[in-house]
């Protein structure tokens, strides 16, 4: 695609990691009040068939409170896909990969007066994956518990969307990648999540104006790019409109575009009808239909 809707320009889509400027021991850090967090690792230069890259060795996250260490563990533990194997990690700190300014943050996510630690990770590869881990203080255990969310190809930016001091994760629905066409022509509709009580919650429906803006962007893009593969863009528009309760509009436009033979993909002459069937199935399965 030559252009993405404006809402998605906020997201950091990256195909490959940037090569770090230096090799050796690296420590990234963040602090807030009495809480300090570091992620330390070794960066080793490698060359494979003429391609230069850097291997991240033994990344470890450490958290201290009032100068006392209360958490220290390998990055990505305790569960896949971010778990260390043989000294290497499937996930690397996003700051080292060059897809985030810093791999760690200390930030108030739950509005409970207790800052959380946020660790940004990246799995590498052409189309995957951004992962956030939230470390939440457990007074009873006197340590931090971790909750993980994999965003897929779309990173998640922390934004105060209501300007009320509460932060939301602004991202896009990665389930739409490859669902109806190839990745380059797929559209990913907006998603908004919060973190509270140790869990991530999808709150996209609470922001109808942002969903409507996203839908308008996708529809404008759809009208501008009629070609041999339009289904990915139409699917994202339809998902947004279904969230807004506009099922009638979606059905009318779907029927109109089918009659005009404008819903095409490079998978066969009858793909328009199959697309309509698959779109309704997936929108229902993914919770977009009321």
194: left (phi over 0), alpha (psi -120 to 50) or beta: beta
Domain that holds residue 24: 14-152
pLDDT at 276 over 50: yes
pLDDT by residue (tens digit) across 45-85? 888 888 877 778 888 999 999 999 999 998 865 554 554 44
pLDDT by residue (tens digit) across 220-270? 999 887 666 789 999 999 999 999 999 999 999 999 998 888 887 765 555
Cα–Cα distances (Å) from 82 to 4, 95, 123, 195, in that order, read 30, 16, 8, 20
Cα–Cα distances (Å) from 210 to 57, 72, 85, 98, 234, in that order, read 41, 39, 41, 28, 18
Structural domains counted in the chain: 2
Domain termination site, one of 123, 152, 181:
152
- 7 pLDDT band, cuts 50/70/90, is very low
Residue 33 lies in a domain: yes
The larger pLDDT score, comparing residue 76 to residue 101, is at 101
- The reply to whether 147 and 203 lie within a common domain is no
Beta bridge partners of 39: 28, 61
- The reply to whether 269 and 219 lie within a common domain is yes
pLDDT by residue (tens digit) across 149-197? 999 888 899 999 999 999 999 999 999 998 888 888 889 999 999 999 9
- The reply to whether 48 and 122 lie within a common domain is yes
- The reply to whether 140 and 24 lie within a common domain is yes
């Amino acid at each position: 695609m030559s252009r993405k809707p404006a809402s998605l320009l906020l997201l950091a889509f990256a195909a490959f990691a940037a090569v770090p400027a230096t090799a050796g021991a690296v420590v990234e850090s963040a602090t807030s009040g009495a809480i300090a967090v570091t992620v330390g690792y070794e960066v080793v230069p490698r060359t494979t068939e003429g391609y230069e890259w850097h291997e991240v060795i033994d990344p470890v996250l450490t958290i201290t409170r009032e100068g006392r260490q209360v958490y220290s563990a390998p990055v990505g533990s305790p569960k896949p896909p971010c778990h260390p194997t043989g000294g290497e990690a499937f996930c690397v700190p996003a700051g080292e990969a060059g897809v985030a300014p810093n791999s760690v943050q200390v930030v108030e996510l739950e509005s409970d007066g207790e800052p959380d630690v946020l660790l940004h990770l990246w799995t590498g590869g052409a189309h995957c994956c951004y992962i956030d881990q939230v470390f939440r203080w457990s007074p009873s255990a006197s340590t931090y518990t971790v909750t993980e969310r994999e965003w897929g190809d779309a990173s998640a930016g922390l934004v105060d969307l209501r300007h009320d001091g509460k932060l939301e994760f602004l991202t896009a629905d990665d389930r739409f990648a490859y669902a109806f066409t190839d990745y380059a022509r797929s559209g990913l509709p907006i998603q908004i999540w919060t973190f509270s009580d140790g869990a991530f919650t999808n709150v996209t429906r609470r922001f109808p104006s942002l969903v409507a803006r996203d839908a308008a962007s996708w529809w404008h893009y759809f009208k501008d790019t009629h070609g041999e593969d339009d289904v990915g863009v139409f699917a994202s528009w339809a998902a947004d409109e279904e969230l807004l309760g506009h099922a009638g509009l979606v059905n009318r436009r779907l029927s109109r575009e089918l009659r005009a033979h404008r819903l095409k993909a490079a998978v066969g002459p009858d793909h328009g009808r199959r697309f309509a069937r698959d779109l309704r199935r997936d929108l229902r399965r993914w919770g977009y239909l009321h």
